[in-house]
């Protein structure tokens, strides 16, 4: 009875012409009813929608897998192009400053864990124009030299290896020497400038570059800076410990100089 009385009271107030009362009761009573009715209609519509067949679901799943594969392939291609552009940008300055260089960019694809001088295998070989004794460098400086070549890959010994011999010079004083690695220094990433003259004027911090003597390496390729000066324990001649600008222990991509003006 109370409910009926309230309903009649509400109708009386709504029909009385008071706009405020009309708005209140419309919002309070009619809006919830409309929402319930709309929800019921939607639920009824969903209930009336026939379920998809197994064939339809299988076909949709197939299309989604194909679309996912296409997007993944596009992403891989994007990263390949991005990495390629980054490599070209890294070595652009080398080519710009050395117009006579013929360069082949390469990636490090392997290292021998039993090799103590951080030698590396690159993904370019004879089919790319790479030959034995080609110098290898980065934008930071000399890395080493190609020691073995196969059609699609090559092996590089680094400037940390005792087997390498590079004619070098102190850029400031013109003191000449021979760069070669030392077993006791390789794990620190250091190499050595041997055969300095007794009258050398080299100092700590001086820049060391290739001299170009012998024709294997172009001249003026950066190598590193002199970390300390001492006497060679084997020959008693002056020597300099060199800290390379390029840490060959972590090098990931390089440029192989396949030809230059000798």
Closest listed residue to residue 146, CA positions, set 97, 106, 88, 115: 106
* Choice among 30-34, 110-114, 118-122, 130-134 with the minimum mean pLDDT: 30-34
* Choice among 76-90, 94-108, 155-169 with the minimum mean pLDDT: 76-90
Q: Quick one: pLDDT band at residue 41, thresholds 50, 70, 90?
A: low
Secondary structure of the chain as H, E, C letters: CHHHHHHHHHHHHHCCCCHHHHHHHHHHHHHHHHHHHHHHHHHHHHHHCCCCCHHHHHHHHHHHHHHHHHHHHHHHHHHHHHHHHHHHHHHHHHHHHCCCCEEEEEEEEECCCCCCCCCEEECCCHHHCCCCCCEEECCCCEEEEEEEEECCEEEEEECCCCCCCEEEEECCCCCEEEEECCHHHHCCCCEEEECCCCCCCCCCCCEEEECCCCCCCCCCCEEEEEEEEEECCCCCCEEEEEEECCCCCCCCEEEEEEECCC
Question: Would strands 238-244 and 253-259 be described as parallel, antiparallel, or unpaired?
Answer: unpaired
Query: What does the pLDDT read at residue 62?
Result: 83
Query: What does the pLDDT read at residue 14?
Result: 61
CATH 3.30.565.10 corresponds to the domain 74-119+133-144+157-262 = no
Query: What is the token pair recorded at 113?
Result: 């864990």
Q: Give the predicted TM-score (pTM) of the model.
A: 0.68
Q: Spell out the residues 6+ positions from residue 181 whose beta carbon is closer than 8 angstroms to its own.
A: 117, 158, 159, 160, 161, 162, 163, 164, 191, 192
C-alpha dihedral over 94, 98, 102, 103, to 10 degrees?
-10
Q: Spell out the residues 6+ positions from residue 146 whose beta carbon is closer than 8 angstroms to its own.
A: 130, 131, 132, 133, 134, 135, 136, 154, 155, 156, 256
Ranges in the chain annotated CATH 2.40.10.350: 74-119+133-144+157-262
Q: How far apart are CA 192 and CA 160, in angstroms?
A: 8
Query: pLDDT tens, 124-174?
Result: 999 999 999 999 999 999 999 999 999 999 999 999 999 999 999 999 999
Query: pLDDT tens, 185-242?
Result: 999 999 999 999 999 999 999 999 999 988 899 999 999 999 999 998 888 899 999 9
Q: How far is CA 252 from the centre of its chain?
A: 8
């Amino acid at each position: 009875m109370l409910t009926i009385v309230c309903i009649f009271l509400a109708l009386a107030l709504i029909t009385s012409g008071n706009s405020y009362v009309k708005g209140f009761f419309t919002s309070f009573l009619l809006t919830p009813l409309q929402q319930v009715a709309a929800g019921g209609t939607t639920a009824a519509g969903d209930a009336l929608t026939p379920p998809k067949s197994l064939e339809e679901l299988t076909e949709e799943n197939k299309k989604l897998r194909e679309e996912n594969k296409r997007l993944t392939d596009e992403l891989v291609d994007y990263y390949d192009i991005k990495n390629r552009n980054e490599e070209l940008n890294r070595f652009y300055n080398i080519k710009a400053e050395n117009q006579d260089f013929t360069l082949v960019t390469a990636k490090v694809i392997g290292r021998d864990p039993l090799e103590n001088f951080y030698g590396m295998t690159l993904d370019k070989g004879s089919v790319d124009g790479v030959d034995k004794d080609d110098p290898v460098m980065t934008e930071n400086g000399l890395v080493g030299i190609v020691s073995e070549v196969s059609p699609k890959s090559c092996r590089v010994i680094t400037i940390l290896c005792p087997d390498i011999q590079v004619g070098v010079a102190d850029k400031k004083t013109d003191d000449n020497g021979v760069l070669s690695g030392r077993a006791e220094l390789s794990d620190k990433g250091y190499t050595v400038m041997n055969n300095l003259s007794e009258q050398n004027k080299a100092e700590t911090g001086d820049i060391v570059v290739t001299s170009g003597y012998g024709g294997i390496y172009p001249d003026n390729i950066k190598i590193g800076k002199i970390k300390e000066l001492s006497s060679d324990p084997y020959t008693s001649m002056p020597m300099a410990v060199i800290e390379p600008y390029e840490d060959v222990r972590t090098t990931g991509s390089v440029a192989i100089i396949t030809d230059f003006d000798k």
